[in-house]
Structure 1
Amino acid sequence: MSDTLTWRPKAGEIPTQPGVYRFRDEKNRVLYVGKAKNLRARLSNYFAPLHTLHERTRRMVLTARSVEWTVVASEFESLQLEYTWIKEFEPPFNVKFRDDKTYPYLAVTLGDEVPRVMVTRNRKIPGAKYFGPYTKVWAIRETVDQMLKAFPMRSCSEGVYKRAQQTGRPCLLGDIGKCAAPCVRRVSLDEHRRIADDFVSFMGGNDSRYIADLQRWMREAAAEFDYESAARYRDQIAALENALEKSAVVLRDRVDADVFGIAHDELAAAVQQFIVRGGRIRGVRSWVVDKELDVELGELVETVLQNAYDGDDTPPREVLVPALPDDATDLERFLGQLRGGSKVDLRVAQRGEKASLAKTVEMNAKNALALYKTRRSGDFVARSQALADLQEALGMPEAPLRMECYDVSHLSGTNIVASMVVFEDGLPRKDQYRRFNVADSTDDTESLYQVLTRRLAYLKDEPTAAGSPEDRDAVIPVSTGDATEEQSGDETALDAGTPIDAAALDGDPGPDAASGTRPGKFAYRPNLLIVDGGQPQVQAAARALEESGVTGIQLAGIAKRLEEIWLPDSDFPIILPRNSDALFLIQRIRDEAHRFAITHQRQRRKRDINSQLSEIPGLGPSRVRELLRHFGSVTRLKAAEPAAIAEVKGIGPTLAAAIVERLHAPRE
């Protein structure tokens, strides 16, 4: 296959002005829409040698058969045109938004002759004023019920309203004081509209001002001995305060802002939007973003905002985001136009209460992304489909019901450890996780080779078929031939490479610990071995598998940057569909192996630095703790000069010099 595209336009043909470009396929369908400050510079990135492109970008340009562009006068115009074209063509390679639910809104139909307040999911009512979105219907109905005590506006349906007009009798809400009953002319239409306007103003953030007015009117009525009016104002104040208690106060009064949090990986992103009006959270919205091409956080923020304010949603005066896009100024102008020409301040919160709220929103986004992935992996139908897809993609004779994934972690070649995590039927089996310590290795491939050689040794003389009852009930002794067992707190480390049961690492040695045996789970034969890495790591694992003499086990590697699946002796990777359940399952087991390995590596590093420092005369446990607290990390301590170390409480120049000498001494 040629490393260039036959349809590629000549560089001199592409203008250097700002503009918008469209990639089209052989059927003239628009595949991708993008904008650029300099069209020639941006498009040259797509026409680089194919092997240098991100996999999904390469797939897009190989699918395309032409590219066209439109020059505009400014970056701001390119932003507007890009937004219009994405909505018009819905290109498959642009970021796709999938709202995870249809949210309920509180709507006031100001376009009607007699405005009505209602809870609805319809965002296209002409002339309606919307508040929300809200996460729970029952919560917004409770709010409306309290609000109608203070603002008795119409909330009945069209049929109920017309029937009351015809009979001259109001509905029950009119009788109990939760409607001013314009249907029977207890109030004029103008008076009822003023009530509706007050309702909208209160929901828009003028709550404290309105309550202050009610309190003043109540005192004035009481002073004039108009106790009936004072009691009515009192009840209205109580109803409004009760409604406000259901909205958390997060910022100062009169602060209107939308706060966005984004958690993303290579394939998807979760977005959280907190809608703050009058300093209170008036609504929360969350949705999932499918990422077809690899985009940076700033570019993702731009797309998120374009979609968040699509339709009737109007941006507030302030929008807080996790990162600013390159064209933040033009994006502010674009949002300002949606706001009717008013200024919109787009920024990243750095400190104070807004930064604290932004962290909360980001945490919600991270939890939403984790939940989204867990649900996809945890659903029985999705798991079954994922295992079937993996079987087909890898050419396996049966589905990989038991998978083991390996990852290596180290710090600049020191404290080398590896992890093995186990998934059965698409779910983690944490009681069968293992950790390995690697005494000496040249690189990650050599470490993987060592670890898999040790692991596969348990399968050489397997007496029974994998998964048989005899195998599952067997026990094997802890290997002690060349293994040195060390105890440190509640963690067991077998430096010569004997694998450890994860339960023992957590301080629970298991029922067989006293007898020196452990259950034979480590002898279970996996259907699929996965290593974290590309071709080099897979080749190292294949060498260990071949030398072990074990057969019937499929081997694969997943390269993190491009999410490619590599098989032994394969020149090209397997590309699973971007949003497939199979890829989500592979990602999850890979991420779990990485988490398990890095946790163990950090524990060893902490133990290692403490043991090194404790050997220095005059440096006791309290001074070691003070050193680590002062510098915050081992890396910073190792990089510090003696003068900086001497500034720590209890550490003088002589002791500081001894610390530096010990930390930089060659390891035996």
Structure 2
Amino acid sequence: MADPSSYRPAPGQIPDSPGVYRFRDEHRRVIYVGKAKSLRQRLASYFQDLAGLHPRTATMVTTAASVEWTVVSTEVEALQLEYSWIKEYDPRFNVKYRDDKSYPSLAVTMNEEYPRVQVMRGPKKKGVRYFGPYGHAWAIRETVDLMLRVFPVRTCSAGVFKRSAQIGRPCLLGYIGKCSAPCVGRVTPEEHRELAEDFCDFMAGRTGAYLSRLEQQMHEAAEEMEYEKAARLRDDIGALRRAMEKNAVVFTDATDADLIAVAEDELEAAVQIFHVRGGRVRGQRGWVTDKVEAVDTAGLVEHALQQLYGEESGEAVPKEVLVPALPEDAAALGEWLAGRRGSGVSLRIPQRGDKKALMETVHRNAQQSLALHKTKRASDLTTRSRALEEISEALGLDGAPLRIECFDISHLQGEDVVASMVVFEDGLARKSEYRRFQIKTFEGQDDVRSMHEVVSRRFRRYLQEKLKTGEWSPEDGEEGENPLAEDDGRPKRFAYPPQLVVVDGGQPQVAAAKRALDALGIDDVAVCGLAKRLEEVWLPGEDDPVVLPRSSEGLYLLQRVRDEAHRFAIQYQRNKRGKRLKAGPLDEVPGLGESRRQALVKHFGSVKKLRQATIDQICEVPGIGRKTAETVAAALARSVPAGPAVNTATGEIIEDETPPPRVGAPPGGSRGTSSERGTEQ
């Protein structure tokens, strides 16, 4: 008997969305399939005290050894997918849908003199047109009720039809206009069959021409002031459009296809495959892989196809393979798939309709799979401990680096040069201690000098805090009030030194960071760099890098730290550049709104050309009068480029090395400690 707590998902891993879940035993056999409006709430109910569970449920959760789930869009999709998997796996603890019933379908008995529309189950019969399957019989009846407004086809049984013909009076549907009443001769057999054929054509998807014809009739009735007829046609059109709504999980035709979706980041990728057979999702599989080489989505799709269909015991190739991106050699890959199948295979990207909708569902599952993988890997205490130990051994540290700080430089062609510092403690991000820097000494594409400056500034502040407490005596004569103290005298976060400094880069950046620490006399902080190209770890003074295995948890942690610093630096640089570009000389012209500013720039092509224009030329712009033109010319004549560190709203110099304000905090409010201090200053 298994303990449910041994495989219970960690808090936050289960999505709060509709889906289907499967419990598996120790042999990986599916023992229970269920659906839920909220996967998080439903699965949480299984992991309560066993004494509070139904005996059968308690037996199920103690027999199971793992649980997995699939995210869908709606509850109806969840119901249909649940049914498909119960039929597929035949779980021992499931009660619903364990009989031999199949999905109900909408059937039109074209083999009868007066075709009838009805709900049918079981094997298909010759001469009957089928549409569906549907998740519920009531869903079919709702569709039929909408369609009978426009196509009043017979729906009654043979007994009711015969009885009405004998008494010469139709049933209620004949009186309210939802049946053409062929039983009493209101229409001929040929006219009724034509109605049934139109019904089938509309259900088969040939809807455009019929809706256009109805709309034309509605407009003609309105022009002739037959408003009641026009209103009835309007309602008919609305009813048909509601009946056209389809579902993304169960197709209306017998589609055989595999849908492949990919969710990825810079380090890993999750692949999800839905197998659709006979119009229904028959199975699902997926995996998460490390991106060992630089590969895009198309390359990941190609690898997935090779893994899925390449082995002799692999999946059978269906008629259609739907992918998010086509590989470069899609033609050759299509020929290879056709050879594996023995006939033609359509390898394409779905563009519209049901298949595109289902592809979006598959992609959501891939995103969920990747997020779940990362959550498990990052939150596992054992994994984090192993990662810190691997880093310590690879770098030759005295102990595990419990606090790691990483620095990265970001700029755009040498302009708006900024830097970021992120902090990881015990292998987890401490976003409240992130910092950002503006490079003060120069502008240019010199990451080495920028790295030296930012490391020097960070650890100079650390030494100033030690000076305040008397733990350090400066050799360069710096004295004065400590700028790092809070109002209540508590030290700021720069007071805590890291055990390891990681820089984004190779030998030059590592050497610059080491020189900065040596100049300050700091010898108890280790330094390393992580180069993006081959994910090599560089140490100061070493000619060869330290190469960690791709499966190393230590390398994975260093990559996470480096990528977080890169993300934080790019975010700050983009925000800073956006503010600089937005604050132009035209913004200071009183009475000149956004529309007229855009009109001026569009007319002349740039602010530079606008500055060279005369007042008469400015007056040629629509909406610009002479007085406004004079004001614009005067403002442009006075304007000078703003310095990169000037706040355009207040004119004050932007301070650095202070935590940005908490998102949503009022001006002058508290700094906050738990939210990420990563917004623009």
For residues 423 and 218 of structure 1, do their structure 2 counterparts lie closer, same or farther at Cα, with a shift above 3 Å needed?
same
Instruction: Give the distance between the partners of 1:261 and 1:577, measured in 2 at CA.
Output: 28
1:218 CA drift (Å): 6.5
- Equivalent AA in structure 1 for residue 521 of structure 2: G
Instruction: Give the distance between the partners of 2:280 and 2:490, measured in 1 at CA.
Output: 56
Percent sequence identity over matched residues? 40
- Equivalent AA in structure 2 for residue 305 of structure 1: L
- Equivalent AA in structure 2 for residue 410 of structure 1: H
Instruction: Give the distance between the partners of 1:424 and 1:527, measured in 2 at CA.
Output: 10
CA shift digits 1:106-149 (9 cap, x unpaired) = 99xxxxxxxxxxxxxxxxxxxxxxxxx9849x999976997999
Residue of 326, 329, 352 corresponding to 1:327: 329
- Equivalent AA in structure 1 for residue 421 of structure 2: M
Residue of 210, 223, 231 corresponding to 2:160: 223
CA shift digits 1:265-318 (9 cap, x unpaired) = 565321123445677766543311244444454333222013234546334433
- Report whether the alignment pairs 1:557 with 2:529: yes
- Equivalent AA in structure 2 for residue 455 of structure 1: R
Instruction: Give the distance between the partners of 1:154 and 1:518, measured in 2 at CA.
Output: 62
| 1:617 match | 589
| 1:299 match | 299
| 2:550 match | 578
CA shift digits 1:140-178 (9 cap, x unpaired) = 9976997999x9x99799xxxxxxxxxxxxxx99xx994
For residues 640 and 386 of structure 1, do their structure 2 counterparts lie closer, same or farther at Cα, with a shift above 3 Å needed?
farther
| 1:377 match | 378
| 1:63 match | none
- Equivalent AA in structure 1 for residue 545 of structure 2: P
User: Do the aligned partners of 1:256 and 1:317 also contact (CA within 8 Å) in 2?
Assistant: yes
CA shift digits 1:528-572 (9 cap, x unpaired) = 000111112111111111111111101011111211111111111
Instruction: Give the distance between the partners of 2:256 and 2:512, measured in 1 at CA.
Output: 57
User: Do the aligned partners of 2:601 and 2:610 also contact (CA within 8 Å) in 1?
Assistant: no
For residues 284 and 662 of structure 1, do their structure 2 counterparts lie closer, same or farther at Cα, with a shift above 3 Å needed?
farther
For residues 403 and 262 of structure 1, do their structure 2 counterparts lie closer, same or farther at Cα, with a shift above 3 Å needed?
same
For residues 306 and 446 of structure 1, do their structure 2 counterparts lie closer, same or farther at Cα, with a shift above 3 Å needed?
same
For residues 629 and 429 of structure 1, do their structure 2 counterparts lie closer, same or farther at Cα, with a shift above 3 Å needed?
farther
- Equivalent AA in structure 1 for residue 334 of structure 2: E
User: Do the aligned partners of 2:259 and 2:274 also contact (CA within 8 Å) in 1?
Assistant: yes
Instruction: Give the distance between the partners of 1:538 and 1:224, measured in 2 at CA.
Output: 89
User: Do the aligned partners of 2:585 and 2:636 also contact (CA within 8 Å) in 1?
Assistant: no
| 2:452 match | 449
| 2:133 match | 207
- Equivalent AA in structure 2 for residue 328 of structure 1: A
For residues 658 and 279 of structure 1, do their structure 2 counterparts lie closer, same or farther at Cα, with a shift above 3 Å needed?
farther
| 2:494 match | 522
- Equivalent AA in structure 2 for residue 249 of structure 1: A
For residues 102 and 536 of structure 1, do their structure 2 counterparts lie closer, same or farther at Cα, with a shift above 3 Å needed?
farther
For residues 286 and 624 of structure 1, do their structure 2 counterparts lie closer, same or farther at Cα, with a shift above 3 Å needed?
farther
1:392 CA drift (Å): 0.2
1:429 CA drift (Å): 0.9
Instruction: Give the distance between the partners of 1:639 and 1:372, measured in 2 at CA.
Output: 52
For residues 575 and 147 of structure 1, do their structure 2 counterparts lie closer, same or farther at Cα, with a shift above 3 Å needed?
closer
Instruction: Give the distance between the partners of 1:663 and 1:353, measured in 2 at CA.
Output: 56
Q: Which has the larger radius of gyration?
A: 2
Instruction: Give the distance between the partners of 1:658 and 1:360, measured in 2 at CA.
Output: 57
> What secondary structure, in the 3-state scheme, does the structure 1 residue paired with 2:524 have?
coil
State how 1:329-408 maps to structure 2 within 5 Å.
Answer: 329-341=331-343, 343-349=344-350, 358=359, 361-362=362-363, 364-408=365-409
State how 1:20-169 maps to structure 2 within 5 Å.
Answer: 135=70
User: Do the aligned partners of 1:272 and 1:286 also contact (CA within 8 Å) in 2?
Assistant: yes
User: Do the aligned partners of 2:84 and 2:282 also contact (CA within 8 Å) in 1?
Assistant: no
> What secondary structure, in the 3-state scheme, does the structure 2 residue paired with 1:330 have?
helix
TM-score (norm: length of structure 2): 0.53
For residues 177 and 319 of structure 1, do their structure 2 counterparts lie closer, same or farther at Cα, with a shift above 3 Å needed?
closer
User: Do the aligned partners of 1:256 and 1:316 also contact (CA within 8 Å) in 2?
Assistant: yes
Instruction: Give the distance between the partners of 2:534 and 2:403, measured in 1 at CA.
Output: 25
> Over the residues paired in the alignment, what is the CA RMSD in angstroms?
5.9
| 1:605 match | 577
- Equivalent AA in structure 1 for residue 325 of structure 2: A
1:401 CA drift (Å): 0.4
State how 1:445-484 maps to structure 2 within 5 Å.
Answer: 445-460=448-463, 463=466
Instruction: Give the distance between the partners of 1:257 and 1:140, measured in 2 at CA.
Output: 18
> What secondary structure, in the 3-state scheme, does the structure 2 residue paired with 1:552 have?
coil
- Equivalent AA in structure 2 for residue 445 of structure 1: V
For residues 155 and 411 of structure 1, do their structure 2 counterparts lie closer, same or farther at Cα, with a shift above 3 Å needed?
closer
| 1:91 match | none
| 2:520 match | 548
1:385 CA drift (Å): 0.2
| 2:567 match | 595
For residues 217 and 427 of structure 1, do their structure 2 counterparts lie closer, same or farther at Cα, with a shift above 3 Å needed?
farther
Aligned residues: 451
User: Do the aligned partners of 2:531 and 2:537 also contact (CA within 8 Å) in 1?
Assistant: yes
| 1:418 match | 419
User: Do the aligned partners of 1:407 and 1:597 also contact (CA within 8 Å) in 2?
Assistant: yes
CA shift digits 1:8-35 (9 cap, x unpaired) = xxxxxxxxxxxxxxxxxxxxxxxxxxxx
> What secondary structure, in the 3-state scheme, does the structure 2 residue paired with 1:396 have?
coil
| 1:536 match | 508
For residues 256 and 451 of structure 1, do their structure 2 counterparts lie closer, same or farther at Cα, with a shift above 3 Å needed?
same
User: Do the aligned partners of 2:529 and 2:539 also contact (CA within 8 Å) in 1?
Assistant: yes
User: Do the aligned partners of 1:426 and 1:585 also contact (CA within 8 Å) in 2?
Assistant: yes
- Equivalent AA in structure 1 for residue 543 of structure 2: D
- Equivalent AA in structure 1 for residue 569 of structure 2: A
For residues 543 and 327 of structure 1, do their structure 2 counterparts lie closer, same or farther at Cα, with a shift above 3 Å needed?
same
User: Do the aligned partners of 2:326 and 2:349 also contact (CA within 8 Å) in 1?
Assistant: yes
Instruction: Give the distance between the partners of 1:657 and 1:308, measured in 2 at CA.
Output: 67
| 2:435 match | 434
- Equivalent AA in structure 1 for residue 156 of structure 2: R
For residues 383 and 177 of structure 1, do their structure 2 counterparts lie closer, same or farther at Cα, with a shift above 3 Å needed?
closer
User: Do the aligned partners of 2:80 and 2:250 also contact (CA within 8 Å) in 1?
Assistant: no
1:459 CA drift (Å): 2.9
Instruction: Give the distance between the partners of 1:392 and 1:279, measured in 2 at CA.
Output: 54
Instruction: Give the distance between the partners of 1:554 and 1:346, measured in 2 at CA.
Output: 52
Instruction: Give the distance between the partners of 1:261 and 1:145, measured in 2 at CA.
Output: 21
Structure 1 residue runs of 5 or longer lacking an equivalent are 1-100, 108-132, 158-171, 181-193, 227-246, 472-478, 484-497, 500-511, 631-635
For residues 147 and 594 of structure 1, do their structure 2 counterparts lie closer, same or farther at Cα, with a shift above 3 Å needed?
closer
1:581 CA drift (Å): 0.9
- The worse-fitting range, judged by mean Cα deviation, of 396-405 and 294-303 is 294-303
- Equivalent AA in structure 2 for residue 220 of structure 1: S
User: Do the aligned partners of 2:263 and 2:271 also contact (CA within 8 Å) in 1?
Assistant: yes
CA shift digits 1:603-622 (9 cap, x unpaired) = 21222122224555368463
> What secondary structure, in the 3-state scheme, does the structure 1 residue paired with 2:272 have?
strand
- Equivalent AA in structure 2 for residue 575 of structure 1: V
